Structure 1
Amino acid sequence: MTEVKADAATEAKGPGFDRRLLPPMMLGSVLNPVNSTIISVALIPIGRALGAPPAQTAWLVSALYLATSLGQPVVGRLIDIFGPRRLFLLSTTLVGVAGVIGTLAPNLGVLIAARVLLGFGTCGGYPAAMALVRSEAKRTGRDSPGGVLTALAVANQTIAVVGPLLGGVLIAVGGWRATFGLNVPLAVAAVLLGLWRLPRSAGTGESPQRGRLVSQLDLPGMALFAATLTSLLLFLMNLHLANWYLLVIVAAAGAGFAVRELRAAVPFIDLRVLGGNTPLLATYGRALVAYVVSYSFLYGFSQWTEEGYGLSPFHAGLVQIPMFLLAIGVSIVSGRRRGVRGKLLVGSVGQIAACLVMLTLTGGSPLWSLLLVALVFGVPQGLNNLALQNSVYFQSDPERTASSAGLLRTFAYVGSMVASSATAASFGQRADTSGMHQLSWIMLGAGVLYLLLTVFDRTLGRGTTTDSAEEKPST
């Protein structure tokens, strides 16, 4: 937030970013993380209430990210074509509907369906925010939105601070159903802010072609993308040799998707441009492995602190407070600095250090050791999200900012699906210490891969990529 204020110093030089857009941008972008963090402390109470072990309640995590992984690039593409207002309003309305269904859900199946709706409903916020940043940069002539991007990152970190603790409070006061009911007032507020503040026209450069809906949407490409990703995620959610046929479907649908996109006049995902954009592809790869680590910690560590260590949901939420508080501070401070290479390197080392500390924990460890793990995780939590977000903004095609941002979230959610699958496989019927250690080894492997992807990415050091883009005069 501090850096956003710094932008005021240049207001006299020309038009600045429209601050009225910030409230709906930030609220829309945090709808997904608030549901991600709240559910982390609700999984054990839901399992106890509905008689479901961790291996089954893991679907509450996977369902949301399956839907979001599919929906983010699709909604992002729609935003690129039609502007953010309509898609923002539609998606946030769906969040409220999902909140009602989840609050009244009679069983785990309906609850999972509510999480699917939540996943689709939270697809519009982040791509809409990135599209607005791009359109404002075009309007003002200032393509250096460091303060605004930092504000978005800090907003997400702030919600992450509140999420586990708020989830614990809601469960203590109204039971686990209250964690779903929270979406109703949040959705109402988002819709009202969207109606009030979002411009009726704020596309990213394709408005003359908006009338040709079918050709612009590339429906066959979207369908093949959905088939590829769904098959892959279903396999990841239930890793077993008996499901080998899913990999065959992945290969067939993926090949069909590639052929379609290379031939389409207006492809859903322009593989020619994306294939030639090595820096952006590397960013997507880093996002995938980074989120394997962060979401394994968010869900796996939370379940272990409740069931393996014996904390209540409220106290399990309190344990994660140091991580998110430090992440906020790190985001604010690092948001002022140009370049991303240093942030990525420190973030990768922080992930590895935290995983090593997790391997030392047992059910008899002192409470301060749990807080230490959360504190160490705060460094990569604050650095990685901001660095990845800034990378995509500067590395993507300006006319596909929203869909590129949506694709970043898709790769991140594939990582979260891997994390969910790893958590379910590690814990099985109970979130005990041995399962937590097994999960920690998986996290450590992903952390090392993240470090290698950063160290050996030569594009980060070239003047034509993100580092140089961020060296433009700050506004």
Structure 2
Amino acid sequence: MAVGLGIMLNPLNSSMVSVAIARLQQAYRLDFTIVSWIIFSFYIASAIAQPVMGKASDLFGRRNIFLLGLIVAFAASMLAPLSPSFGWLIALRIVQSVGTSMMVAVGMALVRIHMTEKQAAALSILSIFLSGAAAVGPFVGGVLLYFWDWQAIFLVNIPFASASFLLAWRHIPKDRRATAAEGSMSVRRWFAMIDTPGILLFAAGMVALLVGLLSAKSSGHITIIHAMVGLSGFALLAFFVRHELRAASPFIPLRAFAKYPAMTWVNVEFLLVNFLFYSIFFGLPSYLQSVRQVNEFDTGMLMLSLGACSLVASPIAGRWIDRSGPRPALLLSAILMTFGSVWLMTLRPDSPVISVCIALAAFGVSNGLNSVGMQAALFASSPKSIIGVASGLFNTSRYLGTILSSLLIGIVMGGSFSFAGFRVLSIILAVTSLVLVGMSRRRREPGRLQETNSM
């Protein structure tokens, strides 16, 4: 319970905000592209913080990192509602992301280390905390916004963080004393170990590229400044790739992609899966509120069908994949995403709002299939000797897909969410999902992947 209440804060806060975009636009009188940074900032910070904090726990102790993460998340949640400007809100959102990422990075490890009995049951419960929080996040956010205001989506974290801290302080055993090697590691050596230059290049490149693209779309034309900022982002990311290929301890081990092509294709597929899912996850609430004038509570109720279908499909997918391997489940998932995207294309401004649930159900079931199927495909395509690296790259692909989905919505919609923009978004998603169907059909059987890994 101590760990579960802590790690749920990251997916809960990443999903609650999906129904708050329209309200934040009204509160700060900003266009959609600027407000979308409430999404970008959280995922960029999470993509960086989780692997970094995983390494930090080896030096400073997992219990210490977990407790510190709770303090940071608590402080950010307290201060965010007092933000005098949107810039301050983004800064505190980044702090909140770092704090919640600290708990996710070490939460599973704490259970594996300290629970010697019924460990599998404990890990499955933690998975329910993670997937359940993401599933009910839009519903919780919708209820909070309907009865209070956007500040409530931050304040709701306080009781969970407080309860987790008290339980963790009392029940999580203290870390063992550091060994001589660990104790002698200097801060400078640790910064080198986590690849600080790579982290800075990645963060600066992503931010500059997104600023350049979104600023050009928001203003309606491309200026020299927009072009320079965007090109500087590309240049920084190019330097990042060059640095990672040469680094002794790279932040993102890019050489693994070239060495294990089967694993690379799994990550590309996973990126596209998350790109499709989160385009719907973040796009539909804004469509319902801005275009169809659905209130926050009803929007949350409609989005709950997405999470409910995902939760129901996951255990069924697990049994199916155990018998047949990941290929059939992933192919069906891609087909369902194609159907959901095409269904959204057929909607008219006067279509019944409840008809949106058909698309949500299709994407929800596909997400349940993907949550198990993509993990199984990763294990089938990755040699056991690099499974830690493979898992890190897998999570990076998840965050990149999420960031790209937010970027697409921002570019397509511009200053305001419109039905015409939503139609364009649906067409792009339909084309992308057809690409995913083709990739799933060409997927090799798990047995052949294992033969490749053993060579």
Give TM-score scaled by structure 1 length: 0.81
Residues 12-51 of structure 1: matches in 2 within 5 Å?
23-51=1-29
Looking at structure 2, the residues matched to 320 and 182 of structure 1 have their Cα atoms a distance apart, in angstroms, of 19
Distance 1:114 1:407, change over 3 A: farther
Q: 2:280 aligns with which of 284, 291, 297?
A: 297
Looking at structure 1, the residues matched to 17 and 259 of structure 2 have their Cα atoms a distance apart, in angstroms, of 39
Contact 1:291–1:415, Cα closer than 8 Å, also in 2? yes
Look up the match of 1:158: 132
Q: 2:197 aligns with which of 197, 209, 223?
A: 223
Residues 376-395 of structure 1: matches in 2 within 5 Å?
376-389=362-375, 395=382
Looking at structure 2, the residues matched to 322 and 173 of structure 1 have their Cα atoms a distance apart, in angstroms, of 21
Q: 1:178 aligns with which of 152, 155, 165?
A: 152
Q: 1:419 aligns with which of 402, 405, 409?
A: 405
Offset from partner CA, 1:212-254 (integer Å, 9 cap, x none): 2544553572322331343135414542571222211211232
The count of corresponding residues between Structure 1 and Structure 2 is: 435
Contact 2:305–2:364, Cα closer than 8 Å, also in 1? yes
Give TM-score scaled by structure 2 length: 0.84
Distance 1:83 1:447, change over 3 A: farther
Looking at structure 2, the residues matched to 355 and 207 of structure 1 have their Cα atoms a distance apart, in angstroms, of 54
Residues 76-475 of structure 1: matches in 2 within 5 Å?
76-79=54-57, 84-132=62-110, 135=113, 145=120, 150-201=124-175, 209-211=181-183, 212-213=185-186, 214-215=188-189, 217-219=191-193, 221-236=195-210, 238-239=212-213, 242=227, 243-260=230-247, 264=248, 266-271=249-254, 275-337=258-320, 338=322, 339-389=325-375, 395=382, 401=388, 405-458=391-444, 460-462=446-448, 464=450
Contact 2:268–2:397, Cα closer than 8 Å, also in 1? yes
Offset from partner CA, 1:176-228 (integer Å, 9 cap, x none): 1111111222222232333234343499xx97742325445535723223313
* Aligned-partner residue type, residue 55 of structure 1: T
**Aligned-partner SS, 2:20:** helix
* Aligned-partner residue type, residue 49 of structure 1: A
Offset from partner CA, 1:346-379 (integer Å, 9 cap, x none): 2222222111111111221112311111111111
**Which stretches in structure 1 are left out of the alignment for 5+ residues?**
1-22, 469-475
* Aligned-partner residue type, residue 426 of structure 1: V
Over the matched positions of the two proteins, sequence identity in percent amounts to 26
Deviation larger for 150-159 or 266-275: 266-275
- 1:68 counterpart = 2:55: no
Offset from partner CA, 1:16-52 (integer Å, 9 cap, x none): xxxxxxx244333321221122111111111111111
Look up the match of 2:219: none
Q: CA RMSD in A?
A: 3.3
Looking at structure 2, the residues matched to 452 and 153 of structure 1 have their Cα atoms a distance apart, in angstroms, of 30
Q: CA deviation at 1:391?
A: 5.2
Distance 1:130 1:388, change over 3 A: farther
Distance 1:110 1:233, change over 3 A: closer
Looking at structure 2, the residues matched to 201 and 393 of structure 1 have their Cα atoms a distance apart, in angstroms, of 30
Contact 2:6–2:160, Cα closer than 8 Å, also in 1? no
Distance 1:249 1:449, change over 3 A: same
* Aligned-partner residue type, residue 235 of structure 2: V
Contact 1:422–1:442, Cα closer than 8 Å, also in 2? no
Looking at structure 1, the residues matched to 451 and 101 of structure 2 have their Cα atoms a distance apart, in angstroms, of 27
Contact 1:79–1:131, Cα closer than 8 Å, also in 2? no
Q: CA deviation at 1:64?
A: 0.8
Contact 1:322–1:371, Cα closer than 8 Å, also in 2? yes
Distance 1:383 1:314, change over 3 A: same
**Which stretches in structure 2 are left out of the alignment for 5+ residues?**
217-221
Looking at structure 2, the residues matched to 433 and 247 of structure 1 have their Cα atoms a distance apart, in angstroms, of 32
